[in-house]
Structure 1
Amino acid sequence: MKSLLKLHGVTLAGLLLAANAGLLIYLATGHIKPWAEINWMDVAGEGGTCLILCGWLVMLLRGRPAGHVTRLLSLGLCCTAFSMWMDCLDEFIQLPAEAIWDNWLETAPMPVGMLLLTLGMYHLQQEQRAISAQMRKREQLLRDHRLFDKLTPLSGAQYLRQHLQQALVQARIDQQPLSLVAIDLDEFSLINQRFGQEEGDQVLQAVAQLLLLNLRQQDMLCRLAGDRFVAVLPNTGEQQAQGMADELRQSIANLAHRSQRHGERLQLHATVAAVMALDEDEGQLLKRLNLALARAKPRLARSA
């Protein structure tokens, strides 16, 4: 209640003063009607409406912060409540016949109040639309944030599937090839075992940055899982993709990453595989890419 008076004390005080001023004017110029002449049906209707409007005013001021919209709505409710209050006083106090100003006090605030309420409702609707747009934007940002990998500045597996689905459709429309490259760090678990997970995380972050530097602007790199990365290469045939995969593998082999504890260089190696999209969906394409990567690892072992 203290916060309500602090924020909207002027509005409440103004309504109270206006209501008291109207009562004093009526008492000063008229006389109280006999009990039998009071129309209690009108008292219940007009007085009850005034109380309800005051209740709405309190709920509005308690539920909204101070501002332009709140001011319009509260002033509109004050005017309509004052109008109903003056109508209710007319049932208790008999004014002289020559007094015509009472009609102005009873009727004039009502259309003013309704106009202010209409303006307030219009701006309230505009405000709600803006809030809804911001909420949708925040929801989209939150949803996109969940699709990003928590360790590296890359997208995750879920985003990869969504992006790949759209890229396949666009490739068919443009009648251009689309290829994928998978990069898998060899024996990465040994780094975690020897140097700890924190060092392994540093390696993954360094590799992610290195891969981004060696890809084109139109390419999209994701961290599929663990130490495996996938690059989506639009407008790229399989032979060109294989050449890019070999360059990525070589860049990882040349990476001079040193451990934080002793500063020794960690020699990294990676297995790569490249496939070009055929007439298949993203799930089938990723499955074929994983099979190509699995076949590439034995070949690497034999060649070593």
Structure 2
Amino acid sequence: MDSYNSVTIDVNDHVAVVTLIGPGKGNAMGPDFWRELPEVFEALDADPQVRAIVLTGSGKNFSYGLDLPAMAGTLAPVLAEGAQAKPRMEFLATIKQMQKATNAVADSRTPVIAAVSGWCIGGALDLIASADIRYASADAKFSIREVKLAIVADMGSLARLPYIIGDGHLRELALTGKDIDAARAEKIGLVNDVYDDQQACLDAALATAAEIAANPPLTVRGVMDVLDEQRAADVAANLRYVAAWNAAFLPAKDLGEGIAAIFAKRPPNFTGD
């Protein structure tokens, strides 16, 4: 496969390992990630030699989520004072284009196992919500932190997590933006199992991937199709709705305040404007 700026890919014994590499700090998700990931997963899904995929992060963290400095140019037009229909429509198209990254993981007929260590924030949680199985190391921390930035999470966590952790747990995480540790993530069903350290977590993911890869591939794809059929329409409708909602209402003073507070490393002062 081609080389990429945001991931590395290693294939052995019918198992592909996709490793996030940034290039933003903490494997943050910048323009390269959103552009490349659909191509990566579509190619792996079309490869008959790949029967399972492990998704993990390089270094100590899975991913810090959206790379704000790298994506500032994407947000700037819609944050401009008095942004009218054109920048909002362009932003709607941008959201839908970015959603293709998490959708490519969710739509893969090749099972995806996420191995999470360290931080898994915002867009990174959207990403693992798109995987089929999630494992964590004991040091993993998770957060749907978009609300603290004055953003409605729009890459899939609000659409997919009700099927994984249930409505009450999702509302608690999405409305507070709080961080939870691996033990809490396991308790609410966000991750299947927790392992002592990063290597043990990755080894477990690889072992599960090998177990899946040993099964008849057409049957595995059939299982995936049947399981996903019951929620596909609901997820697609939710993603369309949140994209339209954010294009209409995201251009608010609170978003600018949230971003400024992040860069200034200070508490935000949200006013509802």
Q: What TM-score results when the alignment is normalised by the length of structure 2?
A: 0.24
> Which of 1 and 2 has higher RCO (CA within 8 Å, sep 6+)?
2
Higher radius of gyration, 1 or 2 = 1
- Whose helix proportion is higher, 1 or 2? 1
